[in-house]
Amino acid sequence: MATVIDKTTPSRDEAKAFARRRMIFAAVLVAIAILIPFVPPFTGQDYKRFLVTGALMAAYAVAFDFTAGYIDIVNFGFAAFVGLGAYTSGLLAVDLGISPWIGMFCGALVAAVVGLLTGMLTLRLRGIYAAVMAWFVGLALMGLVRTLPNITRGSLGLSTPQLLNTADNLPYYYIVLGMLFLTIGILMIVIHSRIGLAFRAIGQNLASAKASGINPTRFLVINFTLSCAFAGLLGGFYAHYYGILTPDLLATNHTVEVLAVAYIGGRGTLWGPAVIAFPLMVITGLLQAQLASMPGLELVLYGLLLIAVMIFRPAGFAGLVTAASNRIWKARTEAPDSAIPAS
């Protein structure tokens, strides 16, 4: 229901035009993302920080959507994998003096390995069981971080070295933006490959995918592992951007935040979650700054937005954009409409 499928086969010209339209759209978004720190009010450090959190959240949401939107497995332990990458990278830097640049990729590796094990463990199960099992694994990981204070400093928090020796948020913004592009790029390539075809077959109809000779568990595990690897990588960035790690980073409520962004953005699109994350995080940052006396307000709004999307607009923001652009396109060309409305 969330994935938009063309039911009529468009002609070659139409397909070309559609692809061109998409390219232009993507280029405009990338240009905006690169140039926005030079446009007031985003030139201020506060706003740049919002942009960093926006890009980071966008990347989280993309990695999350890769499993939720394509193979229909909701990884409720997502934040734990982010935290795993963060702690790996942080501890390597603190205890062994390994450069954060290397540590981040080690974090990705560790998260991928744990993701692989979790996937092999849980992905044989039905949808809700897999989600809940991933959640349990996440809870166990958070519990471990909390119960091993001589390694992780427990809830006192682990101070980690910063990635750069600067107080300016701008270089961090470009680093995390680069990571966002890397994440989207690689995951897009995977999705448009033969593996991606299998993902979509599994996500849409598990039984018929099995019947056509796809071994679903293998593909589910590949997908899950990849998503966890990116979660770990982004966790590494988190560790060396904020400079402090607490077990709370692994908590389920962070997974729910990522989940909310991914679904509000529109599941199964990758770009919807990536785009919507920026305005959401900027608004969140502003609300937190302006309304310090009303803690939690921004999360209440998030939650309400998620509820509204789940009930009324399952295709989310991406669905709205697709529908609107189709309408404009149709009006301009007067050609028969080849795309399907959002819901």
Burial string for 300-316 (b: 16+ CB within 10 Å, else e) reads eebeebbeebeeebebb
CB of 227 to another protein, least distance (A): 17
Q: Which is nearer to another protein, 73 or 239 (CB)?
A: 73
Q: Which is nearer to another protein, 17 or 297 (CB)?
A: 297
CB of 297 to another protein, least distance (A): 6
Q: Which is nearer to another protein, 44 or 296 (CB)?
A: 296
CB of 190 to another protein, least distance (A): 23
Q: Which is nearer to another protein, 64 or 271 (CB)?
A: 64
165 close to 156: Cβ distance less than 8 angstroms? no
Q: Round to whole Å and give the CA distance between 206 and 199.
A: 10
> Which residues, at least 6 apart from 342, have a Cβ–Cβ distance to it below 8 Å?
4, 313, 315, 319, 320, 322, 323
Q: CB burial class (10 A; 0-12, 13-18, 19+) of residue 150?
A: exposed
Q: Round to whole Å and give the CA distance between 314 and 172.
A: 34
CB of 262 to another protein, least distance (A): 10
Burial string for 33-42 (b: 16+ CB within 10 Å, else e) reads beebbeeeeb
Residue type, 7: K
Q: What are phi and psi of 158, to 5 degrees?
A: -105, 120
Give the 3-state DSSP-derived string for 228-279, with helices as H, strands as E and coil as C: HHHHHHHHHHHHHHHCEECHHHHCHHHHHHHHHHHHHHCCCCCHHHHHHHHH
CB of 217 to another protein, least distance (A): 13
280 close to 287: Cβ distance less than 8 angstroms? no
Q: Which is nearer to another protein, 175 or 262 (CB)?
A: 262
Q: Which is nearer to another protein, 240 or 254 (CB)?
A: 254
> Which residues, at least 6 apart from 22, have a Cβ–Cβ distance to it below 8 Å?
none
Q: Round to whole Å and give the CA distance between 83 and 152.
A: 12
CB of 144 to another protein, least distance (A): 6
Q: Which is nearer to another protein, 218 or 313 (CB)?
A: 313
Q: Which is nearer to another protein, 180 or 202 (CB)?
A: 202
CB of 59 to another protein, least distance (A): 21
CB of 342 to another protein, least distance (A): 13
Q: Round to whole Å and give the CA distance between 112 and 205.
A: 26
Give the max Cα distance, the chain: 68
Q: Residue numbers of the site for another protein (CB under 8 A)?
A: 1, 72, 74, 121, 124-129, 131-133, 135-137, 139-140, 142-144, 146-147, 207, 252-253, 256-257, 259-260, 263, 294-297, 299-300, 302-304, 306-307, 310-312, 314
Q: Which is nearer to another protein, 7 or 12 (CB)?
A: 7
CB of 333 to another protein, least distance (A): 27
Q: Round to whole Å and give the CA distance between 138 and 216.
A: 23
